[in-house]
Homo-oligomer: A and B are copies of this chain.
Amino acid sequence: MNKEDLIPGVSFLEDGTACVVLWAPKADTAAILLNDKEQLPLNKVEKGYWTLTTDIIKPFDKYSFLLDGTKQLPDPASRSQPDGVHGQSQAIDLKSFEWKTTEWQATPLQDYIIYELHTGTFTPEGTFEGIKNKLQHLKELGVTAIEIMPVAQFPGGRNWGYDGVFPFAVQNSYGGASGLMKLVDACHKHGLAVILDVVYNHVGPEGNYFNEFGSYFTDKYRTPWGNAINFDDAGCDEVRNYFVQNVLMWFRDFKIDALRLDAVHAIKDFGPKHILQEMREAVDELMAQTGRTHYLIIEFDLNDKRFIDPIKEHGYGMDAQWIDEFHHALRVTAGGERNGYYSDFEGIKHLAKSYRDAYVYDGIYSEERQKTFGTKTDNPGSQFVVFSQNHDHVGNRMLGERSSVLFSSSMQKLMAAAVMVSPYLPMLFMGEEYSEQNPFLYFVSHGDQELIEAVRKGRKEEFKAFHVQGEAPDPQSESTFTKSKLNWGSMAQEQQQDMLQYYKTLIRLRKTLPALSNPERQKLSVTYNDTQQTLQLHRWKDGNQVYCFMNFSKQPQQIEPPADALKMALNSAKNNDHPKNIIQPESIIIYTNKYV
């Protein structure tokens, strides 16, 4: 069988014929049970695959698989779960969608300014349609890409998305496959790229029927979520194909611009070709066929440049990666706590290092990890995504506080600018741009009572050291979810408007000053003063010189702008008439030469 014939689940040919592909090596017989009535036996082909080509199955038909005549199960590669994770699957013709924005020119990766959002809490509607209503706001803000937290079908209607159990099905309560397509279409119309967060390192606990079908997991490696997904053990060819096909579906059928692959350090693959490299090769092939451009961005905490090096340099060919280390260094510099994963970070020294070297731990000893950690990296700045907060750093706090309630307004502005003037790709977390005050809490809506209790208990356990701050909110409670929704009404308030205008200014600066959007990391120098808590970042490109002075202390500090720092492009303290060699507390001043 060739690759085209191995698209799992039910798909439709141009003439309406349905093609069914199921990998169920453990089964002795397999059939489709259509609309709870008709049984269509599948044909056993090689390597545990079962297939059927038929004109009986039509789009929107509901179906289950019937294994060994007794086990009725949803399709592991279902495109739609209209009745939730335990219900029947539904056939969907992904190719029948009528795209309106056909002239979309992919945004080059180096121009990405990313806005991360969670569909359920971004808008009152909590749907893709809701997001569409906010695209004008995002366009005016100036970001160039939205990043949607995972949308694979999960249990119930409330979840961050990392408990998804149907990687090919779009969450029904968000608007399903067609809802997502309409959103992508609208984003492209607004000039926004779409990044989708996908999870290939584990599968959620509820509605996870994978073990009934085949060896999707291996007990060779342990992950925080149990046995690892089987990328290199017996049966891995078919599991690898399943996930590679998933990547291709989002790009080919949904016109998603980039994927953000969740926690790839938890993908364990000792084989000679890493699964990420296989995905890269498959995407390269697709791009050659369609002429479109797609990016693979990884969440990754191993500081190992092999993952982002090109394949021809023996890397895995990932386009970019998140670097939490920049965030950690920035947060500590800004005066945040130093517990947990922050304990390894020393503030301004490490922030300067992250500007210069990307990885802070680049072959040095990490006390927290108790080992020497990381490699040096010379990869361009456009291969790293940075942020002052994201869903994890907010939501993994017991009370889900955003930076807006943890840091002063002036410090929020300084942090925002610190991200925006970096040689890396900046990312905002939804609401950050107007200092949203609502929390982003951890929430679920499982149907399994034991699991609900386990999650509650785990959450309490995690935060037992914080009990003085009160009880951890109940993740299963609907109110925990509701509280986490953005309060768009608040945006009209003065403080919110002030922050919003500031973010717009920052983003405009990044876009207009060539030195700031320059991904060439060698055209950057950084110095810092530990006592004063000041940092000076110099960036340049062609004739454009940009000097950023940051003061993380609570006192005014002296700075020494060079002779060609002729124009003040920004002063976050809004005090433009002070002496040129003074910077206000918790503020940033950006000078340029005359270029713009």
Residues on A facing B (Cβ under 8 Å): 47, 219-222, 232-237, 268, 270-273, 302-306, 313-314, 365, 369-372, 374-375
7 A-B pairs closest in CB distance: A314-B314, A234-B370, A272-B304, A272-B375, A236-B371, A237-B371, A237-B372
In the complex, besides A220-B221, A272-B306, 14 extra interface pairs with C-beta distance below 8 angstroms are: A47-B365, A220-B222, A221-B221, A221-B222, A232-B371, A234-B370, A234-B371, A235-B371, A237-B372, A272-B304, A272-B305, A273-B375, A313-B314, A314-B314
Q: Which residues of B contact A306 (CB under 8 A)?
A: 272
Are B303 and A234 neighbours in the complex by a CB distance under 8 Å? no
What's the Cα separation between A219 and B220 when bound, in Å?
Answer: 10
Could you list 14 examples of A-B contacts with CB < 8 Å? A220-B221, A221-B221, A233-B371, A234-B369, A234-B370, A234-B371, A236-B371, A237-B371, A237-B372, A272-B302, A272-B303, A272-B305, A272-B306, A273-B375
Are B219 and A374 neighbours in the complex by a CB distance under 8 Å? no
What's the Cα separation between A509 and B273 when bound, in Å?
Answer: 40
* A2 to B: closest C-beta gap in Å: 14
Q: Which residues of B contact A375 (CB under 8 A)?
A: 272-273
Closest residue on chain B to residue A235 by CB atoms: B370
Choose from B222, B272, B371 the contact partner of A219 (Cβ within 8 Å). Answer: B222
Are A374 and B234 neighbours in the complex by a CB distance under 8 Å? no
Q: Which residues of B contact A305 (CB under 8 A)?
A: 272
Given contacts A219-B222, A220-B221, contact A237 B365 (CB under 8 A): yes
Q: Which residues of B contact A314 (CB under 8 A)?
A: 313-314
Select the residue from A47, A219, A237 with max chain B CB neighbours within 10 A: A237
* A163 to B: closest C-beta gap in Å: 23
Given contacts A222-B220, A365-B237, contact A272 B374 (CB under 8 A): yes
* A517 to B: closest C-beta gap in Å: 29
Closest residue on chain B to residue A239 by CB atoms: B371
Closest residue on chain B to residue A234 by CB atoms: B370
The complex is assembled from copies of this chain, and their number is 2
* A131 to B: closest C-beta gap in Å: 37
What's the Cα separation between A236 and B372 when bound, in Å?
Answer: 8
Closest residue on chain B to residue A232 by CB atoms: B371
Q: Which residues of B contact A304 (CB under 8 A)?
A: 271-272
* A48 to B: closest C-beta gap in Å: 9
Closest residue on chain B to residue A369 by CB atoms: B234
Q: Which residues of B contact A271 (CB under 8 A)?
A: 304
What's the Cα separation between A272 and B307 when bound, in Å?
Answer: 10
Are B268 and A270 neighbours in the complex by a CB distance under 8 Å? yes
What's the Cα separation between A304 and B232 when bound, in Å?
Answer: 13
Select the residue from A232, A268, A270 with max chain B CB neighbours within 10 A: A270
Closest residue on chain B to residue A220 by CB atoms: B222
Q: Which residues of B contact A222 (CB under 8 A)?
A: 219-221
* A188 to B: closest C-beta gap in Å: 37
* A136 to B: closest C-beta gap in Å: 44
Q: Which residues of B contact A234 (CB under 8 A)?
A: 369-371
Closest residue on chain B to residue A362 by CB atoms: B272
Q: Which residues of B contact A237 (CB under 8 A)?
A: 365, 370-372
What's the Cα separation between A370 and B313 when bound, in Å?
Answer: 30
Q: Which residues of B contact A272 (CB under 8 A)?
A: 302-306, 374-375
Select the residue from A303, A370, A371, A372 with max chain B CB neighbours within 10 A: A371
Closest residue on chain B to residue A302 by CB atoms: B272
Closest residue on chain B to residue A303 by CB atoms: B272
Closest residue on chain B to residue A375 by CB atoms: B272
Q: Which residues of B contact A235 (CB under 8 A)?
A: 370-371
* A237 to B: closest C-beta gap in Å: 5
Select the residue from A235, A272, A303 with max chain B CB neighbours within 10 A: A272
What's the Cα separation between A347 and B237 when bound, in Å?
Answer: 25
Closest residue on chain B to residue A218 by CB atoms: B222
Q: Which residues of B contact A47 (CB under 8 A)?
A: 365
What's the Cα separation between A19 and B541 when bound, in Å?
Answer: 56
Q: Which residues of B contact A302 (CB under 8 A)?
A: 270, 272
* A376 to B: closest C-beta gap in Å: 10
Closest residue on chain B to residue A221 by CB atoms: B221
* A360 to B: closest C-beta gap in Å: 15
Q: Which residues of B contact A371 (CB under 8 A)?
A: 232-237
What's the Cα separation between A220 and B375 when bound, in Å?
Answer: 22
What's the Cα separation between A236 and B366 when bound, in Å?
Answer: 12
* A478 to B: closest C-beta gap in Å: 38
Closest residue on chain B to residue A268 by CB atoms: B270
Closest residue on chain B to residue A273 by CB atoms: B375
* A330 to B: closest C-beta gap in Å: 24
* A446 to B: closest C-beta gap in Å: 28
What's the Cα separation between A174 and B309 when bound, in Å?
Answer: 50
* A341 to B: closest C-beta gap in Å: 14
What's the Cα separation between A303 and B271 when bound, in Å?
Answer: 10
What's the Cα separation between A233 and B372 when bound, in Å?
Answer: 10
* A315 to B: closest C-beta gap in Å: 9
What's the Cα separation between A272 and B361 when bound, in Å?
Answer: 12
Closest residue on chain B to residue A307 by CB atoms: B272
What's the Cα separation between A256 and B442 when bound, in Å?
Answer: 59
Closest residue on chain B to residue A368 by CB atoms: B234
* A253 to B: closest C-beta gap in Å: 26
Q: Which residues of B contact A236 (CB under 8 A)?
A: 371
What's the Cα separation between A236 and B371 when bound, in Å?
Answer: 6
* A578 to B: closest C-beta gap in Å: 47
